[in-house]
Structure 1
Amino acid sequence: MKTLKASAFFLLALLTSNTATALSDDFKQQASINADNQYIDLAKNIAVYKGNVTIKQGSIEITADRLEVYNHGEHGVELMVLIGRPARFSQRVGDGNNISAQAKEIRFERGTNIIKLNRSAQLTWGKNVVKGDTISYDMVRQLLNADRNANKKDQVTTILQPNESKN
């Protein structure tokens, strides 16, 4: 029961923050991608970046070992697949906190602004943490779903920090 209340509190905190402002400001900025190697197939609308991949766009910072971008011929609906040990994503949001994510694979669906973390996933919001095998986070609607690996005993874990009261 305590865990249910804590999870509900955490999700309420996610839903009431001002992420949309940070999100829209970041995506209005230019993006810079750096890597050791870049391969682009213009006919298939696929780009692959390998080795020390870093992406910066506004307050968004991403690191990975490999980035695959699938454009499907339409700007703004790209699918980005980041692979790393782990791949990492961070963004400063409207309430002044940082949201960060890490997993062995991060899928970012740009058209829907959904981040899917797969294999050893962790999402941190301020000082609060959610861990699971898979985590899906809708950046616009601010919805989070975490699942455990069906083959393992580990459950989803949420760690909430106590409120800091000013005395």
Structure 2
Amino acid sequence: MLKLFTINLTSAALLALLSVPAQAQGRDDFQQPIKIDADREHIDIQAGTVIFDGHVIIRQGTLLIHAESVKVKRDDQENDAETFMASGSPATYEQQLEDGSSITAQANQIDYDKQQQTLTMIGNAQVSQRGSLIKGDRITYDLTKQELLAELDEKSGNRVTTIFEPRKQNDENKQQQNNGNNR
């Protein structure tokens, strides 16, 4: 019974954690097996938590998460995972997108609230995609609204920084522009 509970809680928790960015990224990854490597795993049945500690590496297809610790907490009412907390110096996430590009994120702590459908990166947070970068003390992504909010921590005095990489035109578009300019 304990083993079945452990497998169900761990599977539900990790599937929910890893499927957060699935709406915009490598959907095929979420059909792949999940492999978790850690130095330790602790299951507290009464508290409804699973904690993976020590050099945690989670792989599923092209998705890769590195953290010092990952804690999964389930809701007592629904017997389903509700909150996920990955921490590290920093905790990192990367995944290849369906268009072949990749997205990376990192923060001291990455939290996912399943009920609120939010992903919150706290402490030295940054998200990078296609050469563009967003940095802040706290970055919150609302999956339902598809809104991103980057904020500073007033104590740190750091400002939010966004760097947009100009889109690169393919050679054909460049050649057409050059031909038009030479007339």
> Given the two structures, how large is their TM-score scaled by the length of structure 1?
0.78
* CA distance 1:23–1:71, shift in 2 (3 Å): farther
Within 5 A, what are the aligned runs for 1:74-93? 74=78, 77-93=81-97
How far apart, in 2, do the equivalents of 1:138 and 1:26 lie?
21
Deviation of the 1:54 alpha carbon: 0.6
> What is the total number of aligned residue pairs between the two structures?
149
Distance 1:70 1:88, change over 3 A: same
The question of whether the paired residues in 2 share the 8 Å contact of 1:76 and 1:110 is answered with: no
Report if the CA contact (8 A) 1:64-1:83 is conserved: yes
Q: CA deviation at 1:25?
A: 3.4
**Is the 8 Å Cα contact of residues 136 and 160 (structure 2) preserved in structure 1?**
yes
Q: Tell me which residue corresponds to 2:126.
A: 122
Alignment-derived partner of residue 147 in structure 2: 143
Pick 1 or 2: higher relative contact order, CA cutoff 8 A, min separation 6. Answer: 1
How far residue 111 of structure 1 moved from its aligned partner, in angstroms, is 4.8
CA shift for structure 1 position 138: 3.3
What is the distance in 1 between the residues matched to 2:136 and 2:109? 13
How large is the Cα RMSD of the aligned pairs? 2.2
Percent identity (aligned): 31
Relative to structure 1, the CA distance from residue 150 to residue 104 in structure 2 (aligned partners, 3 Å threshold; closer, same or farther) is: same
- Greater shift, 47-56 or 140-149, is seen at 140-149
Contact 1:76 1:111 in 2 (8 A): no
**2:167 alignment partner AA:** N
Give distance in 1, aligned partners of 2:103 and 2:59: 15
Q: Whole-Å Cα distance in 2 between the matches of residues 75 and 30 of structure 1?
A: 22
Assess, with a 3 A threshold, how the Cα gap between structure 1 residues 118 and 68 changes in structure 2: closer, same or farther: same
From 98, 107, 110, the counterpart of 2:111: 107
Q: Over alpha carbons, which structure has the higher Rg?
A: 2
- In the alignment, structure 2 segments of 5+ residues that lack a partner are 1-21, 175-183
More helix by percentage: 2
Taking structure 2 as the reference length, what is the TM-score of the superposition?
0.72
1:132 maps to which of 131, 136, 139: 136
Residue 122 of structure 1: how far off its partner (Å): 0.6
Higher mean C-alpha deviation, range 133-142 or range 61-70: 133-142
Q: How far has the Cα of 1:65 moved from its partner? A: 0.6
Deviation at 1:92, TM superposition (A): 1.9
Give the corresponding residue for 2:4: none
Correspondence for 1:47: 50
